[in-house]
Chains A and B, each alone.
Chain A
Amino acid sequence: MSLLKVKNLNISYPTRKETIVASKDVEFTLERGEILGIVGESGSGKSTIANAIINLIDPPGEITSGSIKIDNDELRDNEELIQEIRGKKIGFVFQDPQTSLNPLFKIKDQLIETIQTHLNLDYQDALKKSIQLLEEVGIDNAEKRIEDYPHQFSGGMRQRVVIALAISCEPDLIIADEPTTALDVSIQHQILELLKDLTKKRNLGVMIITHDMGVIAETTDKVIVMRHGLIVEQGDTKELLTNPKSNEARSLVISVPPTNKKIDRFKLISPDGKEITSDSKNLTKNIIKTWGARENTNQKLLELSGVTKIFDDKSLVSNFSFGSKNETAAKVVKAVDNVSFELFEGETLGLVGESGSGKSTIAKIITGLVRPTNGEIFYNNLSLYNSKRKYQIDKSRGQVQMIFQDPYSSLNPRFKVRDIISEPIRLFQKNISSSELTKNLYDLIDIVGMSRQSLDRYPHEFSGGQRQRISIARALATRPRLLICDEPTSALDVSIQAQVLNLLKDIQDELHLAMLFISHDLPVIRQMCNRIVVLKNGIVCETKESEELFNNPEHPYTQELIRLMPKIESII
Chain B
Amino acid sequence: MLNKTFNKIYDTDIGYSFFNSKIAMISSAVLFIIFLCSIFAGVVSPYNPFDPASVSLMDAFTPPSWSEGGSPSFILGTDQQGRDMFSTIIYGSRISLIVGFASILFAMILGVFLGVTAGYIGGRYEIIVMRVTDVQLTIPSILMALLVNGIAKSVISQSMHSEMAIYVLIFAIGISEWPQFARVSRASTLVEKNKEYVSASRIIGLSNVLIMFKHILPNILRPLLVIATIGLALAIITESTLSFLGVGVPPTTPSLGTLIRFGNSFLFSGEWWITFFPAIFLIVLALSINLLGDWMRDALNPKLKIR
> A residues engaging B (CB < 8 A)?
15-17, 60, 315, 319, 364, 367-369, 393, 398, 400-402, 404-406, 409-415, 423-424, 427, 471, 474, 478
Contact = CB atoms under 8 A, between A and B. Distances in A.
Contact of B203 (A15, A60, A319, A368): A368
A369 B199 contact: yes
Interface in B147-202: 195-197, 199-202
Interface residues of B, number: 21
Nearest to A419: B214
A49 to B, nearest CB: 21
A471 B195 CA distance: 14
Interface of A is mostly: loop
Interface of B: 11, 16, 122-124, 127, 195-197, 199-206, 215, 218-219, 307
B203 A414 contact: no
B219 A414 contact: yes
Contacts of B124: 319
Contacts of A16: 16, 307
A400 B203 contact: yes
Contacts of A15: 307
Contact of A393 (B205, B218, B219): B205
26 contacts: A315-B122, A367-B199, A367-B202, A367-B203, A369-B199, A369-B202, A393-B205, A398-B204, A401-B203, A402-B200, A404-B199, A405-B196, A409-B195, A410-B197, A410-B199, A411-B197, A412-B197, A412-B218, A412-B219, A413-B219, A414-B218, A414-B219, A415-B215, A423-B201, A423-B206, A427-B205
Nearest to B198: A412
Given A413-B219, A414-B219, A315 B203 contact: no
Contacts of A364: 199
Contact of A368 (B196, B202, B206): B202
Contacts of B123: 315
Contact of A423 (B199, B204, B307): B204
A412 B215 contact: yes
A423 B211 CA distance: 11
A474 B200 contact: yes
B127 to A, nearest CB: 6
Contacts of B195: 409-410
Nearest to B307: A15
**Which among B16, B205, B215 has the highest number of chain A CB atoms within 10 Å?**
B205
A427 B307 contact: no
Contacts of A17: 11
B89 to A, nearest CB: 41
Contact of A409 (B11, B127, B196, B218): B196
Contact of A404 (B127, B196, B219): B196
A471 B196 CA distance: 11
B205 A410 contact: no
A335 to B, nearest CB: 16
A404 B203 CA distance: 11
Contacts of A369: 199, 202-203
Contact of A427 (B127, B199, B204): B204
A398 B201 CA distance: 11
Contacts of A405: 196
A412 B217 CA distance: 11
A424 B219 contact: no
Contacts of A402: 199-200, 203
Nearest to B207: A427
B213 to A, nearest CB: 12
A415 B127 CA distance: 31
Contacts of A401: 203-204
Nearest to B205: A393
B205 A398 contact: yes
Contacts of A398: 204-205
A405 B200 CA distance: 12
Given A315-B123, A409-B197, 13 more contacts: A367-B199, A369-B199, A393-B205, A401-B204, A409-B196, A410-B195, A410-B200, A411-B197, A414-B219, A415-B215, A423-B201, A424-B205, A427-B204
**Which among B195, B204, B215, B218 has the highest number of chain A CB atoms within 10 Å?**
B204
B10 to A, nearest CB: 10
Contacts of B307: 15-16, 60
Contacts of A424: 204-205
A427 B203 contact: no
B211 to A, nearest CB: 10
A404 B200 contact: yes
B13 to A, nearest CB: 9
A478 B205 CA distance: 10
A16 B10 CA distance: 11
A421 to B, nearest CB: 11
B36 to A, nearest CB: 31
